[in-house]
Amino acid sequence: MKLILASASARRAEILRDAGFHFTMLSSAIDETPYPGESPQDLVQRLANAKADLVAARAVGPAIVIAADTEVTLDGYIFGKPRSSDDARRMLEKLSGRTHSVVTGVALIRLPDAERITFVESTLVHFATLSAEEITQYLATGEAHDKAGAYAIQGRAGRFIPRIEGCYFNVVGLPLARLQHALTEFGWSED
């Protein structure tokens, strides 16, 4: 049974490749605007389901479609991808010296029977206190611009994160151990 990653994310693909998974990718671009009052957990699960549905409608089974959405949240506020350098700076200033949560919604659809497994994984990320100069230097790398919360733990921002509580891969964008468990529930094997 083949695996299909419903994403164009290089980070998610790298996680799967590095873990030894063989898969294909199908783009799943959708409107990611939160609904008014929507919780971060509800948002990521809704978006993961929408991405999975979009790709499952185009895929040919037998296959398992894997879709995910990751958001950074602090004090009930959802930090999406920054719209500008100033937006990225504001995000990093708010995260500086604080502990925030990274939530990822995952949806798997097995084809052709359309059975579905969904879950949300959450990881706490402790961020060091950053000086204005450190933020400026980090923004100059360009790494912040297409990342939820304006940082990449697997990149240069890793030096600002002394500790996490939970799954590291969740912070990158795909909770690997939970994904493996869900694939096993579906009867998937590497053969």
Q: What is the pLDDT of residue 61?
A: 76
Residue 84 φ then ψ, to 5°: -160, 175
69 as an active site residue: the answer is: yes
User: What span, in angstroms and rounded, lies between the C-alpha atoms of 123 and 141?
Assistant: 25
- The residue extents of the domains of the chain are 2-185
69 membership: H or E segment, kind and range: strand 63-74
Q: Which CATH number fits domain 2-185: 3.90.45.10, 3.30.540.10, 3.30.70.890, 3.90.950.10?
A: 3.90.950.10
**Catalytic residue of the set 69, 75, 86, 146:** 69
Query: For the chain, which residues score pLDDT lower than 50?
Result: none
Q: What is the pLDDT of residue 191?
A: 62
Q: What is the pLDDT of residue 64?
A: 96
DSSP 79-115: E-S-SSHHHHHHHHHHHTTSEEEEEEEEEEEEETTTE
User: What span, in angstroms and rounded, lies between the C-alpha atoms of 5 and 96?
Assistant: 33
Find the largest Cα–Cα distance for the chain: 54
